[in-house]
Amino acid sequence: MSRPIYLDCNATTPVDPQVLSAMLPFFTDYFGNPSSLNHSYGWEAEASVGQARKILAEVIAADPVEIVFTSGATEANNLAIKGVAESYMSTGRHLITVQTEHSAVLEPCRYLETLGFEITYLSVQPDGLVELQALADAFRPDTILVSVMTANNEIGVLQPIKKIGEMCRERGVLFHTDAAQAVGKIPLNVDKMHIDLLSMTAHKLYGPKGIGALYVRRKNPRVQISPQLHGGGQERGIRSGTLYPPQIVGFGEAVRLAVAEMETETQRLKSLRDRLWQHLQAIPGIYLNGHPTRRLPNNLNISFDGIDGNALLLEIRDAIAISSGSACSSLKAAPSHVIQSLGRSHDQAKATLRFGLGRHTSLEEIERAATIVRQAVRSQRQTATEIAV
């Protein structure tokens, strides 16, 4: 039996063969500890880490020394939010974020609330975009940080990051963005966008799981951040722990490949995504979630009327590997907080599909997937009608 069509690339991606090839020697031949600077094994490892750090810095127009390696975007988000809160609590205890953020941002914010910090959770417009006037109104004299995701992991919406960064800079407030879904897919420039902290991860762009990074601005302004892990003082004391060269090398190679292919891959994925939507929007009672154009080129998120979402996923799961929302919350019974924030009903939020196209997605797979979903929706509605009768 053939494996399902994989359309869940916003959850994770396979490691690219070139990435794996770059990683393999660092498991066996170049196995040194990057902190062991007294012999050639350590020098080799340190040089490979430095090269990857340079690649990551270049993709966001930063300085390599501003890149701090972490275990992934979740740790990077926690380090940014908790680290700033601890460092600047004497200045203020108010933070601003958005209701549609990933749980790796929302949960650290909720944790800070238990410590006496105040968090403003901005709502979004029906298209998923933050209303800039609402953000402007939310600033307070004691606001120390704004955290807004660059590209939403469920609906793919691209927030006006440059404008948000400008608003923060004008008020002397630090700006953090979770760019896990955006790095290697859209152009990013931390200076032009006035970003002070930026989280990223490798497994969303054909790199290995378990490795990420946090950009921490060093000047204009110099961001102070309290470490969340204490130990040997690696990563300038911001994130202690022995660095893992195979993963770091893989991360760098994945970013290098993504940037090299960004322009052509963006157009290819957008064409396939639009083709899929063209097929599916013929289904009655279907809704597009998120802004129609200001979104990631590979993302399509839709909701249905009159469908049991769980039954729909069960019917198509052997043919299409797809999700109803964030992989991190797929075990929860509650519908997506992101979809409900757009104004969808509880039932519509439960009857939601997120398509994440990828590097290996073909036109033939898109055509097949569209046919499978149309048939499944028709079948589910027919079943619901028969039960009602």
**Residue pLDDT, tens place only, 113-144:** 999 999 999 999 999 999 999 999 999 999 99
Does domain 17-256 match CATH 3.40.50.10680? Answer: no
* Rg of the chain (C-alpha set): 22
The pLDDT value recorded for residue 383 is 75
The pLDDT value recorded for residue 181 is 98
The pLDDT value recorded for residue 386 is 65
Strand intervals (E) in 104-259: 118-122, 143-147, 174-178, 197-201, 212-216
Question: What are the residue boundaries of the structural domains of the chain, listed by start?
Answer: 5-12+262-388, 17-256
Distance CA 207, CA 203 (A): 5
The pLDDT value recorded for residue 309 is 86
The pLDDT value recorded for residue 126 is 96
The pLDDT value recorded for residue 291 is 97
Assigned CATH for 5-12+262-388:
3.90.1150.10
Active-site residue list = 328
- Give the chain's residues under pLDDT 70: 1, 325-333, 384-386, 388-389
Residue 380, token pair as written in the block: 């589910």
pTM of the model: 0.95
Give which of 257, 259, 247, 292 is closest to 274, Cα–Cα: 292
Distance CA 154, CA 133 (A): 24
Give the number of other CB atoms < 10 A from CB of residue 284. 11
Half-sphere exposure (Cβ direction) of 36: Cα atoms closer than 13 Å: 13
Report the percentage of the chain scoring pLDDT > 90: 89
Sign of the dihedral defined by the CA atoms of residues 272, 278, 281, 282, in that order: negative
The pLDDT value recorded for residue 326 is 59
Distance CA 89, CA 86 (A): 6
Q: Give Cα 5 to chain centroid, integer Å.
A: 22
Distance CA 257, CA 213 (A): 17
Give the number of other CB atoms < 10 A from CB of residue 318. 12
